[in-house]
Amino acid sequence: MAKYPFIQEAKEWVKNEKISIEEILNDAVYERARIRAVERVEEAMEHGIINNAGCINQTDCMMEIFSYPIARMIVVSIESDFLLRRYALAEAKKAYENLKNENREIIEYIAKEFAIEIKNGTIHFSDYLKYAPTWDIRWKLVNRIMNKGYIQLSYREITRLLQEAIRKKIQNELFYMFSPPDVKKIFNEFIIKMKNKLALKGDKKFEGEASFKDFPPCIKNLISAVKSGINVPHVGRFTLVTFLNAIGMPLEEILKIFSNSPDFNEEKTRYQIEHITGRISGTIYSVPKCSTIRTWGLCEPDELCKKVNHPLFYYRIKRRKK
Amino acid sequence: MNFLKKKFYEYYLHPDIIFPPRFDRREFAFFFFGEDMMRRHISFKDKEKFIYYLKANVPKHVYYSSAYYRQPDAETMAKKQWMGADLIFDMDADHLPNANKMTYEEMLLKVKDEMIKLLDFLIEDFGFKKKDMALYFSGGRGYHCHVFDKHVIELGSQERREIVDYITARGLDFSHIIIEKNIYANYYTTSTLEIMPSQPGWRGRMARGIISFLREIKKMDREEAIKKLMKMEGIGKKIAVSIYDGLDEEKMRRIEEGKIDQMPSIRRLLKPLINELAVVLHSSTDEPVTADVKRLIRLPGSLHGKTGLKVTKIKLDRLDDFDPLRDAIVFGSDLTKIDIMKPFKIKMMEREFDLKKGKTKVPEYLAVFAIARGFGKIF
């Protein structure tokens, strides 16, 4: 439970302890839980993942469990969507690291929390689609062995899906959560410190105007498709985001381009862009090569295309000519 | 009342409508004769009222939403409150390459081929039960497949797009199809290439596709086989010759077991074969509507205003025998006077018609079709 404080069982346990929020926030007995809560938020912010705390005896474990709801209250009080998402991901990654070393029963137990049924190492494609990072070619449904609706996965892969399920769950909960006003007073110093850090972080500077007319045709097509509200396949969006990120376009600008898609969901799109561009995940996905773009059916080459094998080269050549 | 509307009225006196599940949660939309604006955001609480509406208004086209809503008649999406949507595959000749070069009958046949492929994916790979699927002739130039399975109802459009990518093989990674295995033996390593025909999913599908294609090639005589191979994208004379000449009994047997290490050029077959095995849903720019979670689809049992044919239910295992120009006809064969403006040939009710310009008499069903298509008028 201490390792997975987001599960229903842990919530019930906290409820049954019948300790009031005031006590948790003020009583000296819970000082350790509060310190650990700050640590959780800080680690999420700094490293994007939360480390395990040693849980040697029962009190340790208790403090660890209590630290989770406190950390959530702090995150909500900082009032930054960026931190909120980053924290949810950090908690999910922590769970992932732990789940990797668990036996199948535990993994299956956690999966059940998310109504995912594991049948002899297979899961239903609808559960898979909800949580798989399908912007990554290896995770595309088409590259999975699917039989009668069920997909064969390794337990490691299932664990990866659970990470996403956990992240979504925590993030959704936080979005709709209100924090008691006391939290702001008690953690005032820490909250201000975090707010300042977030303000400094911002987006990296966008060097020089991106000039759309220097973009290769595939990227131009994608932009005009997205802007005019045509549904663009996943791989197309992926290509576009990696490209715009590589030339240094700020996140907000990229988001703006997508805001015309028919199924635009700011929250979801922002998360995906942040993920692909490494802002919250740490892995920056690179721009696909021309040959890959071609197999995805997105390539409509012009003269210059014949001389390059990567969309970024195209852009650089065009820019250098000036 | 014009001829077409009168005929539609006769049909809608006793229509055989097939209501979708959760009928009262759907948005309905209509086109009426003489209007070119669609009337939307209409919903019905009970079926009798709906049938009465058809009779009273005689619509030219009838649509309903694949989605169901808390408030289907609200005017904005936000107010409608999306609850879920069926998964719908709209296989229309418009989406086929070269559609404009085909006759109506050729288009319908080609779309049927694609639909047969699609059904195999939906049943074998996605595991949809036949009771959760329904197949319809669209009344126009294609077929619709509806999936009501509870697993898909709540999927968002990104997830649905993954399903489309699956059946169209978009993003398929060949290293999942031809498996390179390293074998360690006696202090050195060799690698072998393998395909796995008995596996499910794309891996098995492609493997079986390769094997049956090679069997077919092997049966052909040399010149013909090489010609066929060279027609494929990315295959030149040298490779074509090496594939055909390499196919002796022993090799073929090994290939059927999946061992293809002696024929690495088989790799070249993957790309062209995909085009035959995957479903062709769209031309290069037009993304299929399947991923859309709030689209409108023709109501089964209604008439298509541009053909006069009925949106007709087809049993899943009877698609092969289905002939739209026989089975989707609702009008009778009383002779009707008509002035043909644009000559055309067509086979309807298993009779061949070759219509020349000018006045003539034809069965009523053909008169309706010709007028709806704009090929003729009543005089």
Whether A303 has a pLDDT exceeding 70, the answer reads yes
Would you state the structure tokens that stand for residue B215, as one six-digit string? 């069997």
Same domain, A224 and A80: no
Same domain, B59 and B192: no
- Give the separation between CA B61 and CA B53, rounded to whole angstroms: 13
Same domain, B248 and B126: no
Cβ distance B201 to A130 less than 8 Å, yes or no, reads: no
- Give the separation between CA B180 and CA B194, rounded to whole angstroms: 6
Cβ distance A141 to B163 less than 8 Å, yes or no, reads: yes
Cβ distance A126 to B165 less than 8 Å, yes or no, reads: no
Cβ distance B159 to A262 less than 8 Å, yes or no, reads: no
Same domain, B73 and B161: yes
pLDDT in tens, B142-153: 899 999 999 999
pLDDT, position A93: 94
The separation between the first and the last C-alpha atoms of chain B, rounded to the nearest angstrom, is 14
CATH classification at residue B354 = 3.40.5
CATH classification at residue A27 = 1.20.930
Q: Which of A174, A200, A226 is the last residue of a domain?
A: A200
Whether A311 has a pLDDT exceeding 50, the answer reads yes
A262 lies in some domain: yes
Strand ranges across the sheet with A122-124: A122-124, A150-152, A146-147
B286 is catalytic: yes
Task: Identify all chain A residues contacting B95, using CB atoms and an 8 Å cutoff.
Answer: none
Strands B312-314 and A146-147: unpaired
Task: Identify all chain B residues contacting A222, using CB atoms and an 8 Å cutoff.
Answer: none
| For residues B216-238, average pLDDT | 90
| For residues B170-188, average pLDDT | 82
Whether B77 has a pLDDT exceeding 90, the answer reads no
Span of A301-305, A318-322, B230-234, B299-303 with lowest mean pLDDT: A318-322
Interface mutation vs chain B, best among A231, A258, A275, A300, most B CBs within 10 Å: A231
Which residue range is the domain that position A302 belongs to? 212-320
Would you state the structure tokens that stand for residue A127, as one six-digit string? 């559960």
Q: Identify the active-site residue in B46, B113, B248, B286.
A: B286
Whether B212 has a pLDDT exceeding 60, the answer reads yes
pLDDT, position A231: 67
Same domain, A248 and A156: no
- pLDDT-derived band at B286, boundaries 50, 70, 90: very low
- Give the separation between CA B127 and CA B121, rounded to whole angstroms: 8
B90 is catalytic: yes
Whether A208 has a pLDDT exceeding 60, the answer reads no
- pTM across the whole model: 0.79
B321 to chain A nearest CA, in Å?
A: 26
Same domain, A120 and A149: yes
Same domain, B164 and B28: yes
| For residues B203-223, average pLDDT | 92
Tell me whether A146 touches chain B (CB under 8 Å): yes
Same domain, A222 and A251: yes
pLDDT, position A205: 40
Same domain, A299 and A219: yes
A1 lies in some domain: no
Same domain, B325 and B246: no
Span of A222-236, B67-81, B251-265, B332-346 with lowest mean pLDDT: A222-236
Q: What is the mean pLDDT of chain A?
A: 87
Same domain, B185 and B154: no
Strand segments, DSSP code E, in A58-104 are: none
Q: How far is CA A277 from CA A112, A130, A221, B158, B219, in A?
A: 31, 21, 21, 19, 53
Number of domains in chain A: 2
Closest residue on chain B to A295 (Cα)? B171
pLDDT in tens, A95-145: 999 999 999 999 999 999 999 999 999 999 999 999 998 888 889 999 999
* B202 burial type by CB count under 10 A (0-12 exposed, 13-18 middle, 19+ buried): buried
- Give the separation between CA B80 and CA B41, rounded to whole angstroms: 9
Q: Which of B330, B348, B369 is the last residue of a domain?
A: B330
Task: Identify all chain A residues contacting B171, using CB atoms and an 8 Å cutoff.
Answer: 137, 140, 142-143, 234-235, 295-296
| For residues B53-58, average pLDDT | 96
- Give the separation between CA B267 and CA B273, rounded to whole angstroms: 10
Whether B284 has a pLDDT exceeding 60, the answer reads no
Same domain, A275 and A233: yes
Same domain, A103 and A222: no
Cβ distance A147 to B125 less than 8 Å, yes or no, reads: yes
Same domain, B155 and B197: no
Same domain, A245 and A167: no
Same domain, B29 and B151: yes
A206 lies in some domain: no
Which residue range is the domain that position B225 belongs to? 174-277
pLDDT, position B1: 65
CB proximity list for B361: less than 8 A, separation 6 or greater: B335, B336, B337, B338
| For residues A82-97, average pLDDT | 92
Same domain, A175 and A230: no
Whether A147 has a pLDDT exceeding 70, the answer reads yes
pLDDT in tens, A33-63: 999 999 999 999 988 899 988 777 888 888 9
Same domain, B164 and B18: yes
Same domain, B252 and B263: yes
Same domain, A182 and A262: no
Q: Which of B261, B277, B293 is the last residue of a domain?
A: B277
Same domain, A31 and A56: yes
**Does B55 or A263 have the greater pLDDT score?**
B55
pLDDT in tens, B330-354: 999 999 999 999 999 999 999 999 9
pLDDT in tens, A7-20: 988 888 888 888 88
| For residues A288-292, average pLDDT | 87
Strands B188-194 and B351-355: unpaired
pLDDT, position A167: 94
pLDDT, position B235: 87
Number of domains in chain B: 3
pLDDT, position B30: 97
Q: Which of B236, B260, B277 is the last residue of a domain?
A: B277
Same domain, B248 and B349: no
Same domain, A141 and A219: no
pLDDT, position B206: 93
Cβ distance A148 to B124 less than 8 Å, yes or no, reads: yes
pLDDT, position A263: 65
Same domain, B262 and B224: yes
| For residues B240-255, average pLDDT | 89
B92 is catalytic: yes
Tell me whether A224 touches chain B (CB under 8 Å): no
Task: Identify all chain A residues contacting B278, using CB atoms and an 8 Å cutoff.
Answer: none
Task: Identify all chain B residues contacting A234, using CB atoms and an 8 Å cutoff.
Answer: 158, 161-162, 165, 171
A207 lies in some domain: no
